[in-house]
């Protein structure tokens, strides 16, 4: 399983999204159109058929893209307050320079640049986008032994980590291991400031998290959420608020129930069939069968 190929986000206004990402994160338009009935059926979200979408890619290429789908969204949605895909982490060249550029932008800075608690060689900040998607912008000052990550090829490169919250660390790891052959990882206790803010805990409160290694220099961070966390609300037939789907390239996964997809645009350009599964946290996983 891997790499990560697409991050799908719901947003109320695609024009705002395009202006924000092209104007401040140096992304390029990679496509636009309307969600067809086939894709809506693949995701089991029939109400999304006919909605407009926008594809955005970093300047370096389209290995991993953002797909924004225009729809009414939940204005009360807060990342890290519910199970599911809570954030996406992007590799950048210089996080402090980007922070200066983002002041006064449509992105809300929710975490200023700072070194990680366990190393000064990784520095990151957090921003909230027009679809209330939470993005980590992360700079690696040098490679970290044992952590296979990409090198930024442009100021704001691709997503290399997605962050998933669920009720049980054991269940999260077991699902990805049994379904996709993803190796287990030893959990560690770590601060997750977004989760602490959502649940009113001290910023120093620690949670059980683990980084599951994928192919293609990608990872899934799985976070065990507090007992009071709940599934993300969603209207029937619609996609949930925030980051609603993450798409992964896979090899050797059963494709008997997969759908044929249009190969004209990313993330389907190099695959013929795709399927979709729901994980233990209610997250939607789009499987691109290579």
Task: Tell me the mean pLDDT per 10 residues along the chain, length 290.
Answer: 98 98 97 95 96 97 96 93 97 97 95 82 94 96 82 96 97 96 94 91 92 96 95 95 97 90 89 94 95
Domains of the chain: 4-289 (3.10.180.10)
CB 134 within 8 A of CB 194: yes
Name the nearest CA neighbour of 274 among 262, 256, 260, 254: 260
| Beta strands 259-260 and 284-289, pairing class | unpaired
Instruction: Report the greatest alpha carbon distance in the chain.
Output: 49
pTM of the predicted model over 0.85: yes
What is the Cα–Cα distance from 221 to 207, expressed in whole angstroms? 12
Residue-level pLDDT at 119: 74
CB 52 within 8 A of CB 14: yes
Residue-level pLDDT at 144: 77
Cα torsion angle, 199, 201, 203, 209, sign: negative
């Amino acid at each position: 399983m891997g790499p990560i190929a697409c991050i799908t986000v719901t947003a109320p206004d695609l024009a705002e999204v395009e202006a924000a990402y092209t104007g401040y994160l140096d992304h390029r338009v990679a496509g636009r159109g309307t969600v067809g009935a086939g894709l809506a059926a693949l995701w089991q979200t029939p109400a999304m058929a006919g909605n407009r979408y926008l594809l955005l890619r970093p300047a370096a290429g389209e290995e991993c893209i953002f797909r924004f789908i225009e729809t009414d969204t939940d204005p009360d949605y807060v990342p890290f307050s519910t199970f599911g895909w809570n954030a996406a982490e992007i590799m950048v060249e210089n996080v402090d320079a980007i922070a200066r550029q983002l002041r006064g932008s449509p992105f809300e800075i929710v975490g200023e640049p700072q070194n990680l608690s366990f190393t000064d060689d990784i520095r990151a900040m957090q921003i909230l986008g027009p679809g209330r998607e939470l993005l980590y912008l992360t700079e690696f000052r040098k490679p970290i032994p044992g952590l296979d990550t990409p090198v930024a090829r442009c100021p704001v490169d691709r997503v290399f980590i997605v962050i998933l919250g669920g009720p049980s660390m054991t269940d999260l790891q077991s699902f990805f291991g049994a379904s996709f052959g993803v190796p287990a990882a030893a959990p560690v206790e770590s601060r997750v400031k977004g989760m602490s803010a959502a649940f009113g805990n001290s910023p120093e409160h620690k949670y059980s998290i683990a980084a599951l290694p994928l192919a293609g220099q990608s990872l899934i961070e799985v976070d065990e959420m507090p007992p009071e966390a709940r599934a993300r609300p969603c209207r029937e037939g619609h996609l949930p608020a925030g980051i609603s789907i993450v798409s992964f390239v896979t090899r050797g996964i059963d494709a008997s129930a997969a759908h044929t997809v249009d190969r004209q645009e990313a993330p389907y350009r190099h695959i013929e069939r795709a399927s979709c599964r729901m994980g233990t946290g209610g997250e939607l996983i789009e499987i691109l069968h290579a």
